[in-house]
Amino acid sequence: MVNYIWVFMTIIGLVFAAINGTMSEVNEAVFKGATEAVTLCIGLISVLVFWLGMMRIAETAGLLDKLSSLFRPFVTKLFPEVPAGHPAMGYILSNMMANMFGLGNAATPLGIKAMEELKRLNGGKDYASRSMITFLAINTSSITLIPTTVIAIRITYDSAAPTSIVGPTLMATCFSAVAAILIDRYFHYRRSRKG
Amino acid sequence: MQIISAVSLWFIPVLIGFILIYGTLKKVPTYETFVEGGKEGIKMAVSIIPFLVGMMVAISVFRASGALDYMMEYIRPIIEKAGIPAEVIPLAIIRPISGNAALGMTSDLISAHGPDSFIGILASTIQGSTDTTFYVLTVYFGAVGIKKMGDALKVGLLADLAGFAAAIIVVTILFG
């Protein structure tokens, strides 16, 4: 699926450039896109190193276990394939917490760690397991308490009430989180019927 | 509202302090443990590079060629019929693909229509209630070497659509 989308975007872009005469823009875009990606990854290093270091302390001290046992009933329902007390739970929960507070930077390393644990649970296979898809669905529609970046932009543009969007955003994300879980469940149901 | 901005200001420092004190009380060799965990971060960041380069080149080619604009022109009339303001359509389409482009568009809409206008509030809410599915997918699956994504992309994109719809409904009810 990703292979097709990837080729589709590139080829359609190239054909379009040929028709529209935007070849020079496309030439530029190839190198700009690549540079942007590398810059992004380099920028991620600092955040990844810091938060993974911090989380290793939290993990060794037993904080992640505490967190997962606190929310166990709720999360085991969402991730029936993850055994209680598995380290994946702790990472999934800390990732959700970071997302709630709009800390995208802190959320990414935790999300990757959660995926790593989920992959281990899946016997190290290279296809996405049920839990991984659920985790991804929750992640892309995560409940947001404080949309920090947007508030910052609104302040920049002299909003009279920069935080007025906190309520609507919370409502919208709650709705979409529920929708995401239902969509995920539906696809799982379809897969399991196919066998 | 003041409480919320105070929480977002204090959350990270308090979290760091708490982890360090708790670790020390539990007799964890904090500094060594931090360094060990941090090493993993470097490996992770480097392993994501090829995934992001591939994806971002495709996306920027698609955008620079004008194909994205063309596609939007086609979708626009359908969505306008549904009563959704045309101004936020490009944002909804770009949001799952490119976080930076979406942030640019949101700032653009806010500066053009005013942060407290209907469009400004709607754009802010859409930005805050959806996520860059392609990025999350590429980074999370890329870092741990998942090659077959199954239904993940479909589920993620539909979830984005749900977030978009929810933002429009909520903002229309509250501010419309």
Please give the full DSSP string across A98-131, using - where no structure is assigned. HHHTT-HHHHHHHHHHHHHHHHHHTTT-SB--HH
Average pLDDT over residues A79-83: 89
Range of A53-57, A138-142, B16-20, B104-108 with top mean pLDDT: B16-20
Average pLDDT over residues A21-40: 89
Average pLDDT over residues B135-153: 86
The Cα B121–Cα B173 span in angstroms is: 12
Residues in A closer than 8 angstroms to B176, CB to CB, are none
Kindly report, residue by residue over A144-193, the tens digit of the pLDDT.
776 777 877 788 888 888 878 888 888 898 888 899 999 999 999 988 88
Contact B116 A101 (CB under 8 A): no
Sign of CA dihedral B156, B161, B162, B166: positive
Q: Give A44→chain B minimum CA distance, Å.
A: 6
Average pLDDT over residues B114-143: 87
Q: Which of B58, B147, B174 sits opposite A10 (nearest CB)?
A: B58
Nearest to B18 by CA among A75, A67, A115, A103: A67
pLDDT score, position A24: 92
Question: What are A127's strand-pairing partners?
Answer: B148
CB-facing half-sphere around the CA of B114: CA atoms within 13 A: 5
pLDDT score, position B176: 72
The Cα B140–Cα A110 span in angstroms is: 10
pLDDT mean across residues, chain B: 84
pLDDT score, position A164: 83
Which residue of B31, B125, B157 to mutate against A (max A Cβ within 10 Å)? B125
% of chain B surpassing 90 pLDDT: 18
Nearest to B52 by CA among A142, A177, A33, A133: A33
pLDDT category at A195 given cuts 50, 70, 90 is low
Nearest to B156 by CA among A132, A113, A172: A132
Average pLDDT over residues A31-36: 88
The Cα B84–Cα A49 span in angstroms is: 42
pLDDT score, position A165: 85
Which parts of chain A fold into alpha helices (H)? 2-20, 23-60, 63-70, 72-78, 87-100, 104-121, 130-140, 148-156, 166-194
Range of A183-192, B3-12, B148-157 with top mean pLDDT: A183-192
- pLDDT higher for A41 or A171? A171
> Contacts from B39-42 at CB under 8 Å and sequence distance 24+?
B39/A49, B40/A48, B40/A52, B40/A56, B41/A45, B41/A47, B41/A48, B41/A49, B41/A50, B41/A51, B41/A52, B41/A53, B41/A109, B42/A45, B42/A48, B42/A49
Structure tokens at A89: 């739970």
B131 φ/ψ sector (left φ>0, alpha ψ -120 to 50, else beta): beta
pLDDT score, position B27: 94
Contact A34 B121 (CB under 8 A): no
pTM of the model: 0.78
Contact B107 A172 (CB under 8 A): no
Residues in B closer than 8 angstroms to A146, CB to CB, are 4-5, 7-8
Of the ranges A24-28, A39-43, B8-12, B128-132, which one carries the lowest mean pLDDT score? Answer: B8-12
pLDDT score, position B8: 59
Residues in A closer than 8 angstroms to B158, CB to CB, are 179-180, 183
Kindly report, residue by residue over A83-139, the tens digit of the pLDDT.
877 888 888 888 887 777 666 667 888 899 999 999 999 998 888 999 999 999 888
pLDDT score, position B98: 75
Q: Please give the angle made by the CA atoms of B20, B24 and B29, to the nearest 5 degrees.
A: 100
Contact B172, A21 (CB under 8 A): no
Answer whether B167 touches A (CB < 8 Å): yes
Its ipTM equals 0.77
